[in-house]
Chain A
Amino acid sequence: MNKKLDLFAALAVLTIISIIVYVTARTILLFFVEYTLIESFFAVMLLLGEFFIILHTLGYVVNIARAGSGNKQVFSSGPTGLAEPSVAVLVAARHEPKEVLESTFITLYGLNYKNKTIYFLDDSSEDKYQKEAEELSKTYGLKLFRCRHRHGAKAGIINECLKTLNDKYVALFDADQNPLPDFLKVIIPLLEHDEKLGFIQTPQFYSNLDKGPIARGAAFQQAVFYEYICEGKSTGGSMFCCGTNVVFRRKALLDAGGLDESTVTEDFATSVKLHSRGWHSLYYNHVYAFGMGPESLTGYFKQQFRWALGTISVFKKMIWQLIRHPFSLSPAQWWEYFLSSSYYLIGVALLVMMLCPMVYLLFKVPSYFASPEIYFLVFLPYLILSMSVFYFLLRGRNYKIKDLFLGQLLGQITTTVYMHAALWALIGIRGKFAITEKTKAAAIPYIRLWPQILLIFFGFISVVWGLNRYIYEQEAAILVNSFWTLYNCLLLSSIFYFNREVK
């Protein structure tokens, strides 16, 4: 056990050193080499892109270090067997299929906790769904809640319902989440134990990981996020709420003025508010609910687009808040929130990193190192070390490299979707409240995948062009750039594998 921790510490330190060396070398070189205006533009863009990724790697390593490489944390919950405080369980839904809702209410009904009331917040406007909601409420003894005036989508109806509640705690579930019977029994004592705890978040687990490569890839992306990132953030006191599988202290939620209705990721914005008002949060890293991930590329892209759009909108707000109220959060919390809210800008960073080698091959615009020796000496250690931190530690929690890679591939082909979301968020276009699409979908027509296909197309052209150049110029940098372009092209080509009809 100790030996393992030592190894991890050594690896983490080495990674951080390699990051520092790399950034320094890159920045110095930028100033020493004489570039034209266009060249400088690309060089600066690339440096920014890399800097972004490095910051996130750093944040990631720090989170892993905090989470510890050993076993999951266990919290003492104080004496159990006391009277159960009352809990309102809220499920908001709009036009969800009846089978999905039925499973959810079966499991909520089966929660091994007596003092609970289950509320069905029906946001449907169509007759058919409203009727189904009434039937379900009768069967499972649910309290049906509807809003006369719709506002703020999901957050809106939850806020309206909050006004009518007296329960000490409020549990939120998405319409497709199936909690295990022990959920409240485990979580409520933890909240009872600490008065300053505003909410406890538990992980999401996509149980349909056997339903094709998208579902599997998405499941393992989730796993990476929940296994380490969340646990690390929680120890740093900046775990945010993910909107489902979460229990709030009602007092805290009221103190924050309810859920934030101004973004599509109301959960994230609300956590910022709670933390800036001095409430704590806890991430309890044990799965207590089974959910369903997207199974088709359409569904996956829609989900990612919505998350990216909402989160980047919060990023804009956070910068504004940092300028106006710099002391509303602690520096550590600012750092974590900066990382969380900027994460989806990764689309921009990855796109720059894909374009730069291509521009070099086609137009001789250098943005990478001119000298390959420095490149190998500086970049490679950084790359290898950060990748190994990622893979080895997740393997330590019994994840297979093959599965993690699938998740990464999926992320790569979503680059242009993130880019799209970033543009919308910066311009200020707000998204609609759309249900995360799950099953049954046709493959996306290739015409709509034009960004990815164009990237692949130009990638291959630049590799061929680059190899021709190499024959005459004998420049090692051409090979390095060709390699990266080819690598990116191959990763992107996986879109043909992922994009298929789901039956």
Chain B
Amino acid sequence: VKKYYLFILAFFILMQNTYASESQSYCFTGAFLADQPVKKDILEFRKDYGKKPYLVMIFLGWGDFPSERTIKDVYAEDCILFLTWEPWDAQRKAGIDFNALIQGKFDSYIGKLAAMLKEIDKPVLLRFGHEMNGDWYPWSGAKIGANLYIQAYRHVKEIFNKGKAANVKWVFSINWEDLPRDNRFILYYPGSDYVDYIGIDGYNWGNSKHWSKWQSFEQIFKARYEQAAIIDKPIIISEFSSSSSGGDKQAWIKEALNSIKNMKKIKAFVIFNQDKEADWKFSPGTRAALELKKQLRGNYYKDKNTFKNSSKAL
């Protein structure tokens, strides 16, 4: 009888292992370094944390274009550009006229940007109108409604289609939390023809604000990941970082990079590595920064695209 149970036990262990060794998983690195990142910033990131940021994020206001120098430097370092395209006047923080947009008033600007990105001839990630499931941006659903948002998004994407900018990959980028609660991200999803990746933004504010509390990466991202994973698209953590007030930032980043390994559909992350609303930066030399460097070691986190199929961005 004992032998019999040992056999069953061995069986289970075998099953376990088959699942564990399933597929070659990976996740690309990425960061927001500076408003106009150049070669120096990319190399500095590698010096501080051991790997390059494969995705280099920049923010773009309406009517603007990315700087030639940034484009040149990013691709010279074998990295790719991740454009956050904000439909507002970046100085005045005033939203554009979305009805005018779907009527075609901005078509020539959109077409010009499409042509410029197409010329890069390598993968470019683009997220238009991010965090729409919040209420802070003028393009958020709480301000313009989901219908108008989707129409605007689709209109912009269709102009890129016309310009045959197929190297541009579209990231539908949401906030980790729907605010207000009924403002659910799924209402804004423009459809599989318009999206290549789903992006999720989220931060641990610690106790840096009166409304915030310390939250682990998993507490922030897990439920949202489970929801987003239902849609048949790979996922990018399109912005994340932690404040250091109210907890242990070193432990936080360790847990974060381990959690990502358990969320297999996450194919890239972007660390927001600059102090802004809170101390998001992993300041070089701190314990948190050393931990980040330590966690990025190994094969799981890649800073270079080694896929043979070069049109595959991630």
When distances are taken between beta carbons in the complex, the residues of chain A under 8 Å from B192 are: 180-182
Cα–Cα, bound, A287→B231 (Å): 7
Chain A 4-41 interface 0/1 with B at a Cβ cutoff of 8 Å (1 = within) = 10010011000000000000000000000000000000
Whether the Cβ atoms of B187 and A178 lie closer than 8 Å is yes
The contact of B189 among A4, A103, A180, by CB within 8 Å, is A180
- Chain B residues, Cβ within 8 Å of A395: 19
Q: Which of A7, A106, A376, A392 makes the CB contact (< 8 A) with B147?
A: A106
Chain B contacts of A3 at CB under 8 A? 18
Q: Which residues of B contact A7 (CB under 8 A)?
A: 14-15, 18
- Give Cα A420–Cα B145 distance, bound, in whole angstroms: 45
* B146 contacts A106, C-beta separation under 8 Å: yes
Q: Does B50 contact A (CB under 8 A)?
A: no
B230→A205 contact, CB < 8 A: yes
A388 interface contact, C-beta 8 A:
yes
A132 CB → nearest B CB, Å: 15
Interface size grouping (class) on chain A: 20 to 34
B223 at the interface (CB under 8 A from A): yes
Question: With an 8 A cutoff between CB atoms, is B226 at the interface?
Answer: yes
A107 touches B264 (CB 8 A): no
A109 to B149, CA, bound (A): 13
Interface residues of A (CB under 8 A from B): 3-4, 7, 10-11, 99, 103, 106-107, 109-110, 112, 178, 180-182, 205, 207, 209-210, 286-287, 290, 376-377, 381, 384-385, 388, 392, 395-396, 398
Interface assignment of B1: CB less than 8 Å from any CB of chain A: yes
Q: Which residues of A contact B15 (CB under 8 A)?
A: 7, 11, 388, 392
Q: A110-B150, A392-B15 are in contact. Are A286 and B232 (CB under 8 A)?
A: yes
Do the beta carbons of A181 and B187 come within 8 Å of each other? no
Q: Is B8 an interface residue (CB 8 A)?
A: yes
The answer to whether A110 and B19 touch (CB under 8 A), given A103-B184, A180-B186, A377-B1, is no
In the A-B complex, the 9 residue pairs with the smallest Cβ-Cβ separation, listed nearest first, are A210-B223, A181-B191, A112-B191, A290-B186, A287-B230, A106-B146, A182-B192, A110-B150, A207-B227
Complex CA distance for A287 and B228, rounded to whole angstroms: 11
Q: Is B193 an interface residue (CB 8 A)?
A: yes
Q: Is the CB of A107 within 8 A of B12?
A: no
Chain A CB within 8 A of B11 CB:
yes
CB distance from B4 to the nearest CB of A (A): 8
Query: Is the CB–CB distance between A384 and B147 below 8 Å?
Result: no
Q: Give the interface SS of chain B, mostly helix, strand, loop or mixed.
A: helix
Question: Would you call B190 an interface residue if the criterion is a C-beta within 8 Å of the partner chain's C-beta atoms?
Answer: yes
A207 to chain B, nearest CB (A): 5
Question: B277 within 8 Å of A by Cβ?
Answer: no
- What's the nearest-Cβ distance from chain A to residue B152, in Å? 12
> Which of A181, A286, A392 has most chain B Cβ within 10 Å?
A181
Chain B nearest CB: distance from A142 CB in Å? 13
Q: A110-B150, A290-B230, A381-B8 are contacts. A207–B18 as well, Cβ < 8 Å?
A: no
Contact of A207 among B12, B147, B184, B190 (CB under 8 A): B184
B182 interface hit (Cβ, 8 Å): yes
Q: What residues of chain B lie closer than 8 Å to A109, measured between beta carbons?
A: 147
Q: Report Cα–Cα, A398/B11, bound state, in Å.
A: 20
- Chain B residues with CB under 8 Å of chain A are 1, 4, 8, 11-12, 14-15, 18-19, 145-147, 150, 182, 184, 186-187, 189-193, 222-224, 226-227, 230-232, 264
B193 touches A388 (CB 8 A): no
Q: Are B264 and A398 in contact (CB under 8 A)?
A: yes
Output the nearest chain A residue to B182 by Cβ-Cβ distance: A99
B12 touching A396, Cβ below 8 Å? no
Identify 11 residue pairs between A and B in the complex whose beta-carbon atoms are under 8 Å apart, listed by A's number: A4-B19, A11-B11, A107-B186, A112-B193, A178-B184, A180-B191, A180-B192, A209-B226, A290-B227, A377-B1, A396-B19
Residue from the set A4, A7, A110, A395 with the largest chain B CB neighbour count within 10 Å: A110
**A110 with B147, Cβ < 8 A, contacts A7-B18, A377-B1 known:** yes
Distance in Å: Cβ of B71 to nearest Cβ of chain A: 32
Shortest C-beta distance, A279 to chain B (Å), equals: 28
Contact partner, B223, options A209, A377, A388, Cβ 8 Å: A209
Question: How long is the Cα–Cα vector from A178 to B191 in the complex, in angstroms?
Answer: 13
Chain A residue numbers with a CB within 8 Å of B145 are 106
CB distance from A192 to the nearest CB of B (A): 19
- Chain A residue at minimal CB-CB distance from B186: A290
Residues in B whose Cβ lies below 8 Å from that of A377? 1
A10 / chain B contacts, CB cutoff of 8 Å: 11
Judge whether B146 and A110 touch: CB under 8 Å: yes
**Closest chain B residue, CB of each to CB of A4:** B18
Q: Which residues of A contact B193 (CB under 8 A)?
A: 112, 182
CA distance A205 to B229 in the complex (A): 12
Q: CB distance A180 to B231 under 8 Å?
A: yes
Most central of B14, B146, B226 by chain A CB within 10 Å? B226
Tell whether, in the assembled complex, residue B264 and residue A178 are in contact, meaning their CB atoms are under 8 Å apart. Answer: no
**Which residue of chain B lies nearest to A112 when distances are taken between CB atoms in the complex?**
B191
Q: Report chain A residues within 8 Å CB of B227.
A: 207, 209-210, 290
The one of A11, A103, A385 in contact with B187, judged by C-beta atoms closer than 8 angstroms, is: A103
CB distance from B173 to the nearest CB of A (A): 17
Extra 17 A-B pairs, beta carbons < 8 Å, given A290-B184, A388-B15: A7-B15, A7-B18, A10-B11, A99-B182, A103-B182, A103-B184, A106-B145, A107-B186, A110-B146, A110-B190, A181-B191, A182-B193, A207-B227, A209-B227, A384-B8, A392-B12, A392-B19
* Cα distance A205–B230 in the bound complex, in angstroms: 8
User: Which chain B residues border A209 with CB–CB below 8 Å?
Assistant: 223, 226-227
CB nearest to B232 among chain A residues: A286
Q: Report chain A residues within 8 Å CB of B14.
A: 7
Residues of chain B with a CB closer than 8 A to A182's CB: 191-193
- Return chain A residues, CB-CB under 8 Å to B11: 10-11
- A106–B230 alpha-carbon span in the complex (Å): 20
A109 CA to B145 CA, complexed, in Å: 13
| In the complex, chain A residues whose CB is within 8 Å of the CB of B186 | 107, 178, 180, 207, 290
Judging by beta carbons under 8 Å apart, are B147 and A181 in contact? no
What is the distance, in angstroms, from A262's C-beta to the closest C-beta of chain B?
35
Measured between beta carbons, the chain A residues less than 8 angstroms from B184 are: 103, 178, 207, 290
Measured in the bound complex, the distance between the Cα atoms of B227 and A180 in whole Å is 13
CA distance A381 to B231 in the complex (A): 38
A109 vs B146: C-alpha distance when bound (angstroms): 10
